[in-house]
Amino acid sequence: MIRFQDLKIGDIVMAEFEGQWTEGEVAELNREDKEVCIRNDVQDFWYKPEELKGIPLSDEQLINLGFEKEVNPDGTVKYKKGAFRILLTKKDNFNEFEMWYREDRRHLKGPVYVHELQNHHLQMTKVELTRAAA
């Protein structure tokens, strides 16, 4: 479950409908009823926060968000998108990493989800982080 107050329009999450989980994007937020409109390949549909879950951050997710991957000689992995950077000190360990944009540096620990990264990116850069165009 994702807390309603943690969601923003444009966030990418998983939504459950009749036992099936599908990926979608937050299209609208109904603050009065605490419902979230998710847009997927099929249609827009309203969900309660308990019917949503985050997508774990991974190499594949970062590439889909338009990041370039750089493996450093010391074994660290850096992902770059414009001036925004993510540094993994241990390869494929997305449970602890640093990210920065200009003078704003953040160190994240624990599981991080795509929608959380999108929200950090928006706070830091004032630019939405969306899927790269195919």
pLDDT of amino acid 68 = 97
The b/e string for 77-93 (b: 16+ C-beta within 10 A; e otherwise) is bbbebeebbbbbeeeee
Is the domain of 14 the same as that of 63?
no
Q: Are 92 and 48 members of one domain?
A: no
Q: Which of 35, 36, 79 is nearest to 59 (CA)?
A: 79
Provide the domain limits for residue 118: 59-125
Q: What is the pLDDT tens value at each position of the chain, 134 positions in all?
A: 899 999 999 999 999 988 899 999 999 999 999 999 999 888 899 999 999 999 999 999 999 999 999 999 988 999 999 999 999 988 778 999 999 999 999 999 989 999 999 999 999 999 999 986 65
Number of structural domains found in the chain: 2
Predicted pLDDT of residue 18: 86
> Are 69 and 31 in a shared domain?
no
The pLDDT of residue 75 is: 86
DSSP state of 55: P
Length of the chain: 134
pLDDT at residue 94, rounded to an integer:
92
Q: Going by C-beta distance under 8 Å and a sequence separation of 6 or more, which residues neighbour residue 75?
A: 90, 91
> Does residue 101 form part of some domain?
yes
One domain, residues 69 and 117: yes
What is residue 26's predicted lDDT score, i.e. its pLDDT?
97
Give the single-character DSSP code of 54: P
Q: What is the pTM of this model?
A: 0.91
- Per-residue pLDDT at 42: 81
